[in-house]
A and B are shown apart, each in its own frame.
Chain A
Amino acid sequence: MKTVKLLAVAFFLAFAGISNAQTAEEIVENYFENTGGLDAWNNINAMVLTGQAGMGPQEFPYTQYVTSDGKMAIQISLQGQTFTPQAFDGEQMWATNFQTQKAEAMDAETSANFKIQSKDMIDTFLNYKEKGYTLELQGSETVEGTDAFKILVTKQPVIVDGEEVANTATFYFDKESFVPIMSEAAVTSGPQKGMMTQTLYSDYLEAGDIYYPHSLTVKFNGQVGQTIKVDAIEINPEIDENVFLMPKQ
């Protein structure tokens, strides 16, 4: 019912035209206000997302655990095996080695860089000032055929191969609903360094007291690379801490 109302409002707005000048701060405020309110967002200390991750024709069921204090684990179950392609216990990033099926720690730089990103487990823009991020409204752009505000977010720099590298991402907020519909960032390390990745957000649905995108599409230089379909989101469930910890061999 809520969704229906929301859609009705969005529909009205479609005929009302696009908004006047906004600041980045106002846009982000509107985003949280329109998706449940800042209080509801701040009440989240953990989320468990379950769904299907697709790469090309292959689809894998996955479960993602995140906590507001920056821990994260993704588990994939396939042919009777459960493995962890990515997890972070707050300090250490690790993953299951596909060949040996055993957990291995990722390199120190990757862990340190992820720690910086781990502030964004619930949302990039949640408490962005406290996180030390700066926002810059870079005007408007048409993405996904839709008028959007373009906001550059600058976070603490990351270290890549020993060198400090800027850590920025560009978010495009729908001018009608103020929710992000796309983000864009450059790959900062590895052979794909410099390649632009775009993430499309859609299917915003209720999850507890907030609205959260239930469909994500990741593109590399414009070509679809990965799709994520979220079937269910649990807000503030009990999570066994072991999912974040690297298993001892």
Chain B
Amino acid sequence: MKTKNIFFGLCVAALSIPIHAQEIKLKGKELFGDMTARQIGPALMSGRIIDLETHPENAQVIYAGTAGGGVWKSQDGGASYAPIFDDHLQSIGQVAIDPTDPDQTVWVGTGEIWTRNSVSVGDGLYKSTDGGANWNKITGFDNSERISSIEIHPEDGDTVYVGVLGALWSDSEDRGVYKTTDGGKTWNKVLYIDKDTGVADLIMDPSNPDVLYASMWEHRRTAWNFNSGGEKSGLYKSTDGGATWNKIHNGFPEGKLGRIGVAVAPSNPERVYAVVESEKDEDKGLYRSEDGGASWKQTNNDFSLTVRPFYFSKIVVDPKNPDVIVKGGLSGSISRDGGNTFKALGNMHSDIHDIVFDINNSDMMHVGTDGGVYRSWNGGTTMEIVDNLPLSQFYHISVDDATPYRIYGGLQDNGSWYGPSSSPGGIEARDWVRVGVGDGFRVLKHPTKEILYSEMQGAENVWRYDMERNYTKNVKPLPAKNSADLRFNWNAPMAVSVHQPDRFYMGSQFLHRSEDMGDTWKVISPDLTTNDPAKQDKNSGGLSADNSGAETHTTIFTIAESPLNENVIWVGTDDGNVQLTKDGGQNWTNVVANVPGLPAHTWVYHIEASVHGEGTAYAVFDGHASGDMTPYVYKTTDYGQSWKSLVTDDLKMFARNIQEDYENENLLFLGAEDGLYITVDGGQNWSHFTNNFPPVAVHFLDLQKQTNDLVAGTHGRGVIIVDDISILRDVKPEILYKDVHFFDVEPGVMVEEGGFGGGSTELQFVGPNPGTSVAIKYYLKKRHTFGKMALEIQDMQGNTITELGAGKSKGINIVTWNYTSKPPKMAAAKTFAFGGFTPVRVPAGTYKAVLTKGKKTYETTFEVKNDPKSFISAKEREAQYKTSRQLFDVQEDLAYMVYQINHIMTKAKDAINANNKAKKVAQPLIDELDALKNTLVVTTGDNYVGTAPPQLREKLSALYSDVAANFEAPSAAQIENINLLMARFNEAKQSFETIKKKRLTKFEKYLAKSEMQPIEFQTKEEFVDTKE
């Protein structure tokens, strides 16, 4: 009947299905199966926070919207946070909690709104109705790029206002204030100025939801300039739910205005504050209105109120006190007199973007900075960082060839660092070493020495850092006699050479080469840029000068020396030149005109010189700084004479970086604005890699040669590693049609480690280690759902060593084995012998992985090797294994003996219970066995401080565990102790035999005489196989 049902059910399902042939493509989530990325942070310096929001009723719940790392939710009052937006673009503008359904309904507007040069982009508006577990994209905002504000009606959650700041680098008619009254199904644009002027801030009067304040901001970025301000910026107010708007500038500065931040005092909504960017220094700063914006009075124009309005125009009023106002800024500042005077907030990371007060206690504050979230319990005087937000924003990363390899990189406003790819106990904050200050960018390790190069913004410093001596020297290239001023990009390029280890390149508008690690420099090119004076304006910022150097343009951005020929050097410039020399810099050719379909002057973000051919290279161009979000990825095999686009419809957003595989020319990795893409067929199909890899902006990729780990430097989620991508080299069309395909298994190395690690507290982020187990990898054409499937490890004689949990995903499955068999069967006792949980490690050799799926079996063989760094001899190793096995067997012999004792005692007690006459023969047997048992195992106490003195089982298992967990031969003390315990065990065996001879025989006779069931024991094999 069942079968019928099942069959029928499936047939019904089949009938409703349109039939078409299934084609297996080399793409998609199916391809990657359970290959999973490893997010290792770091979190100690965290990253830029854009928006903080508190739940209106539950002080435990806080949301953090981040610049490039998605949305994080705290449910413990800000002690720790967890990511809740990992399937969507990670650049966040605004988070809003529906006051009518605060536990469930949350809105997220994407696209960072503190519009520095390095911001990522958003792709619209999202809504969750389950507290952030699932998100639905709201239609109509796909091209919004940046959403600055979401205001929700306090009684009607379907009425929502959304402020779109809009495109940073281009015109946009999507800017403006939008209103929905049906929960986001339909929208009306209720305020629009023009294509240049977006919503910087939109605030609803908490006492009257029809009253809205909207600050409109005229602004634009280019790759070489930023302009804040114009005639069209202004502050508007609506008192009719957005139907009509009026400018409210009575008392505001005359002339052009820039970015304006607004805040209404919740405890007195007529009190409105605005921080205003204007033309004249004297009328910039904070304005206060006592009449809902009808008139304004300037209260303060100190530095902290006027500093960098595009980055810091956030003002927040204490919900309980209209005179307490906090402003974002370089340090953040707080006023307790209605904005007349301010003092700085306590020490924390600089660049404060948002502040929220605890809903119950205004002494508690949460502050979002360029370096994470900070908490204060004393009104902002002392601050402490949240330690578990791995939001680091890498501009670049590189790896070395150490074991474990180290990852080097520079961070937005958080200096330069290196850290290990694995560390005992996990990769902790203390594992990361600072190797630069300011904004960090490229960090490159010297190919052979413990020396690295790091830099800060615009190559203000270029450090040669001696990692062993903790010693730095500034080796920045400087102008020489008769040379022009040097133009370095904010993110200035550097390169080292695999051919000449002491060679070091830097790029300004010229290519600089040093053969002595930066001590002396030689310019080996003419100006390789367009040198367009129109793109060299040094006055950036608009109404507020902002000449940080971030907009320095017409510079070299990428340098690639061919790994096959040191005289072949590629250079890419931010203004769109691809320059090539084949003679070490004597002659240069600009080959960009040969690139088909590429708009002129598109930023050359990365050139990868191939290992597969001297004339082969990849180039990634990025036009987003001119509003062009198209990906441009090309390959040449003829020194740039011709280029082929590798872009397909699979790629949705602009890309910054490409990494080729060193072995398989068709295997390529692309770092895009929306995450990591991989092709296994030379760019015919790209697959988005999303297994524990959010769609975060990937700025740089590197492939570690020994481990084949793909290491991604993300701009918002730190370093993300896809361990050992070598399996992707073997993905070929023919295997995809097989039901099961085992990939070649890289030999497993039993790493000889036994140290201690882990000093982090539970609220500190710890990056996971890659593990040292051997990885068995196979492809399944279909996901295994019905029927049995098992994976076991066998020796070459077919003896089972252990069973593993088989991966059953369609696509690639990776199952690891830690080189051990099962732990021994232990004697039953009152408490645990913890040593008995230790398994025996197998000797090096060849093993089989056998996969059973239904009635079919599939197998592969692989090698297990000893640690090549080991100092342990083969003889010692053999002694360790032999002794471990011996003690393992002794555990099981002891367990079997205790089983027999217990079995006899149970029988004897049963016999007494059945007939008291049995006592005569049974009781002495019980007594003697009990006495013996008490010397064999613990029969009293508990697993903690009530523990009983250890007996033979406990002593033997502790010794066994010590020997089996080690790699060396047992020590002399251990051997002596083994002999001692073995002698005791032999004595016990003797005693048992004596009791059996003397007492058991009599009892057995009694049983026979009484026609009772004789005593029957399981065989030892049967006993060992019982599962308990």
The reply to whether B134 and A152 form a contact with Cβ atoms under 8 Å apart is yes
What 0/1 pattern do residues 808 to 848 of B give for CB contact below 8 A with A? Answer: 11110000001010110011111111001101000000000
A154 to nearest B CB, angstroms?
A: 8
Cβ of B786 < 8 Å from any Cβ of A?
yes
Task: Give min CB distance, A37 to chain B, whole Å.
Answer: 5
Contact A145 B789 (CB under 8 A): no
B785 x A181 contact (CB < 8 A): yes
Chain B, Cβ-Cβ closest to A160: B75
Docked complex Cα distance between A10 and B17 (Å): 13
Residues of A within 8 A of B785 (CB): 10, 174, 177, 179, 181, 201-204
Asked if A42 is at the interface (CB within 8 A of a chain B CB), the reply is no
Please tell me if the beta carbons of A9 and B10 are within 8 angstroms of each other in the complex.
yes
| Residue A43 is within 8 A (CB to CB) of chain B in the complex | no
Question: Which of chain B's residues have a CB closer than 8 A to the CB of A146?
Answer: 30, 782-783, 809-810
Nearest neighbor of A154 in chain B, beta-carbon distance: B130
Closest to B943 in A: A99
Interface flags for A29-65 (1: CB within 8 Å of B; 0: not) read 0100111110010000000000010100111010000
Of residues B8, B13, B28, which shows the largest number of chain A Cβ atoms within 10 Å of its Cβ?
A: B13
Interface string of A1-18 (1 = CB under 8 A from B): 111111101101111111
Structural contact, A142 and B786, CB atoms closer than 8 A: no
Q: Which residues of B contact A34 (CB under 8 A)?
A: 5-6, 9-10, 13
- Least Cβ–Cβ distance between A173 and chain B, in angstroms: 11
The residue on A at minimum CB distance from B82 is A194
- Chain B: CB-nearest residue to A174: B785
Do residues B84 and A194 form an inter-chain contact, with CB atoms below 8 A? Answer: yes
- Asked whether, in the complex, the Cβ of A79 is within 8 Å of the Cβ of B5, the reply is no
Q: Please indicate the chain A residues that have their CB under 8 angstroms from the CB of B789 in the complex.
A: 202-203, 215
Q: How far is the CB of B856 from chain A (nearest CB, A)?
A: 11
Q: Chain A residues with Cβ under 8 A from B12's Cβ? A: 30, 33
Task: State whether A59 touches B822 (Cβ < 8 A).
Answer: yes
Contact A186-B133, Cβ < 8 Å, known A142-B30, A205-B787: yes
Which chain B residues border A7 with CB–CB below 8 Å?
786-787, 854
Q: When the two chains form their complex, are residues B2 and A37 in contact, meaning their CB atoms are under 8 A apart? A: yes
Q: Is the CB of A224 within 8 A of B805?
A: yes
Chain A, 212-226, contact with B by CB distance < 8 Å: what is the 0/1 string? Answer: 001101000111100
Chain A residue contacts of B82, Cβ below 8 A = 193-195
- Among residues 160 to 214 in chain A, which have CB atoms less than 8 Å away from a CB atom of chain B? 161, 163-166, 168, 170, 174, 176-179, 181, 186, 191, 193-196, 200-206, 209-211, 214
Say if the beta carbon of B20 comes within 8 Å of chain A.
yes
Asked if A81 lies at the interface with its beta carbon under 8 angstroms from chain B, I say yes
A78-B832 in contact given A17-B20, A193-B76, A206-B2 (Cβ < 8 Å)? yes
B942 touches A100 (CB 8 A): yes
Q: Which of A115-151 touch B at CB < 8 Å? A: 138, 142, 144-146
Our pick among B22, B75, B942, B1027 for the contact of A99 (Cβ within 8 Å) is: B942
Return the CB mask of A77-93 against B: 1 if under 8 Å, else 0.
Answer: 11111100000000000
Whether B17 pairs with A13 at a CB distance below 8 angstroms is yes
Q: Bound complex: CA of A186 vs CA of B16, how far in Å?
A: 34
Digitize B751-792: 1 where CB-to-A-CB distance is under 8 Å, 0 elsewhere. Answer: 000000000001000001000000000001011111111000
- Quick check: B783 and A33 within 8 Å, CB to CB? no
| B contact residues around A98 at 8 Å (CB) | 943
In the complex, A17→B20 CA distance in Å?
Answer: 6
CB nearest to A226 among chain B residues:
B805
The number of residue pairs between A and B whose CB atoms lie closer than 8 Å in the complex comes to 225
Contact between A144 and B6, CB atoms less than 8 A apart: no
Once the chains bind, are A142 and B6 in contact (CB under 8 Å)? no
Of A18, A145, A209, the residue contacting B29 (CB under 8 A) is A145
B2 surroundings in chain A (CB, below 8 A): 2, 36-37, 40, 206, 209-211
Residue of A nearest to B829 (CB): A80
Cross-chain contact A6 with B837 (CB below 8 angstroms): no
| In contact, B75 and A193 (Cβ under 8 angstroms) | yes
Contact A79 B826 (CB under 8 A): yes
CA–CA, A15 and B14, complex, Å: 10
- Cα of A111 to Cα of B133 in the assembled complex, Å: 25
**A residues less than 8 Å from B1013 (CB atoms):** none
Interfacial chain A residues near B972, Cβ < 8 Å? none
**CB atoms of A14 and B22 under 8 A apart:** yes
Q: Which residues of chain A have C-beta atoms less than 8 A from B946's C-beta?
A: 100
Q: Which residues of B contact A19 (CB under 8 A)?
A: 13, 16-17
List CB contacts (< 8 Å) of B328-352 with chain A: none
What is the bound-complex CA distance between A77 and B1028, given in angstroms? Answer: 5
Residue with the highest number of chain A CB atoms closer than 10 Å, among B21, B29, B805, B839 = B805
A181 and B783 contact, CB distance less than 8 A: yes
Q: Which of B6, B16, B34, B780 contacts A211 (CB 8 A)?
A: B6
> In the complex, are the beta carbons of B5 and A36 less than 8 A apart?
yes
Q: Which residues of B contact A99 (CB under 8 A)?
A: 942-944
- Whether A30 and B809, one on each chain, are in contact in the complex, defined by CB atoms closer than 8 angstroms, is no
Tell me if B58 counts as interface (CB < 8 A to partner A). Answer: yes
Chain A residues lying within 8 Å of B827, measured Cβ to Cβ, are: 79-80
Give the contacts of B935-949 with A (CB-CB under 8 A).
942-944, 946
Chain B residues positioned under 8 Å from A30 (CB to CB) = 9, 12-13
> In the complex where A144-B783, A194-B73 touch, is A178 in contact with B13 (Cβ < 8 A)?
yes
When distances are taken between beta carbons in the complex, the residues of chain A under 8 Å from B811 are: 145
CB pair A17 B22 closer than 8 Å: yes
B255 at the A/B interface (Cβ < 8 Å)?
A: no
Complex CA gap A173/B817 in Å reads 30
Q: A115 to nearest B CB, angstroms?
A: 21
Within 8 A of A (CB), among B466-510: none
Are A170's CB and B134's CB within 8 A? Answer: yes
- Chain A CB within 10 A, most for which of B32, B34, B133: B133
Chain B positions within 8 Å of A166 at CB level: 103-104, 130-131
Query: Shortest Cβ distance from A93 into chain B, in angstroms?
Result: 22
Let me know if B3 and A2 touch, CB within 8 A: yes
* Residue from A6, A217, A222 in contact with B786 in the complex, judged by beta carbons closer than 8 Å: A6
Residue of A nearest to B937 (CB): A80
Residue B692 at the chain A interface, CB threshold 8 Å: yes
B11 at the A/B interface (Cβ < 8 Å)?
yes
Cα distance A122–B75 when bound, in Å?
31
Evaluate contact between B1028 and A78: CB separation under 8 angstroms: yes
* Complex interface: chain A residues within 8 A of B93 (CB): none
A166 to B103, CA, bound (A): 8
- Across the two chains, which residue of chain A brings its CB closest to B811? A145
Nearest B-chain residue to A75, judged by Cβ: B1028
Closest to A168 in B: B130
Q: A78 — which chain B residues lie within 8 A by C-beta?
A: 832, 1028
Contacts of B784 in A (CB 8 A): 202-203
A207 to B386, CA, bound (A): 49
Taking CB as reference atom, which chain B residue is nearest A12? Answer: B14
Known A-B contacts A61-B1027, A227-B805; A3 and B787 likewise in contact (beta carbons under 8 Å): yes
CA–CA, A203 to B784, complex, Å? 7
B762 surroundings in chain A (CB, below 8 A):
191
What is the minimal beta-carbon distance from A164 to any residue of chain B, in angstroms? 7
B900 lies within 8 A of chain A by Cβ? no
A13 to B13, CA, bound (A): 9
Give Cα A193 to B786, complex, Å. Answer: 33
B163-197 contact mask (Cβ, 8 Å, vs A): 1 or 0: 00000000000000000000000000000000000
- Report if A33-B103 is in contact (Cβ < 8 Å); known contacts: A7-B854, A179-B785, A181-B785: no
Report B306 CB to chain A, min CB distance, Å: 39
B973 CB to nearest chain A CB (Å): 26
A17-B942 CB under 8 A given contacts A166-B104, A186-B133: no
Can you list 25 A-B pairs, Cβ within 8 angstroms, ordered by A?
A3-B787, A6-B3, A13-B10, A30-B9, A33-B9, A36-B6, A52-B1027, A77-B1028, A80-B830, A81-B828, A98-B943, A101-B943, A142-B30, A144-B809, A146-B30, A165-B103, A176-B10, A191-B76, A194-B73, A196-B133, A205-B787, A215-B789, A217-B805, A221-B692, A223-B36
Additional A-B contacts beyond A142-B30, A177-B10, A193-B75 (18; CB < 8 A): A7-B786, A19-B13, A20-B18, A40-B2, A79-B828, A79-B836, A80-B826, A80-B828, A80-B1028, A100-B944, A101-B943, A145-B809, A154-B130, A165-B103, A170-B133, A177-B785, A204-B787, A205-B788
